[in-house]
């Protein structure tokens, strides 16, 4: 039978931490209307810039097919909102509508929770 070796506390060494790569998470898909662009809006400063894309490669069999176009994915960053709109002004307008809708939904949820607790 093998005996287990015990390590002295002096022999234990700290190992450097290795950063874990973040995985892709599916956020949803959206088809752009003709003439529209995807805009990236900074959540703090409301600075509007056009979103950056990465293009997926096309299979060799599909390369000659005129109906097949390369799929583009938006490169998403933390702290930004992504909105599809015709121009920058409309992108800010759509963001304000989205925020107001979320606030109204949160208020309705809070009111429903408050009403549920009153009956107890």
Residues facing 54 on adjacent strands:
73
Mean pLDDT, the chain, whole residue set: 83
Q: Give whole-number Cα distances, 21 to 14, 24, 74, 106, in Å.
A: 21, 10, 19, 33
The pTM of the full predicted model, rounded to 2 decimals, is 0.65
* 63 — pLDDT class (breaks 50, 70, 90): confident
Q: What local confidence, expressed as pLDDT, does residue 7 receive?
A: 59
Residues making up the chain, counted from first to last:
120
Segments in 1-120 forming alpha helices (H): 88-118
Q: Where do the structural domains in the chain lie, given as residue ranges?
A: 33-118
Q: Tens digit of pLDDT for each residue in 83-102?
A: 999 999 999 999 999 999 99
Q: What pLDDT, on the 0 to 100 scale, is given for residue 50?
A: 96
The residue-averaged pLDDT of 5-27 equals 68
């Amino acid at each position: 039978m093998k005996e287990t070796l015990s390590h002295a506390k002096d022999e234990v060494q700290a190992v450097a931490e290795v950063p874990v790569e973040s995985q892709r998470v599916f956020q949803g898909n959206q088809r752009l209307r003709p003439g529209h662009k995807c805009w990236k809006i900074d959540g703090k400063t409301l600075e509007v810039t056009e979103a950056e894309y990465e293009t997926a490669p096309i299979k060799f069999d599909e390369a000659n097919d005129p109906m097949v176009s390369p799929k583009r994915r938006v490169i998403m960053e933390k702290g930004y909102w992504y909105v599809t709109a015709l121009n920058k002004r409309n992108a800010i307008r759509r963001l304000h509508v989205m925020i107001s809708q979320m606030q109204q939904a949160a208020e309705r949820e809070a009111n429903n929770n408050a009403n549920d607790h009153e009956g107890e």
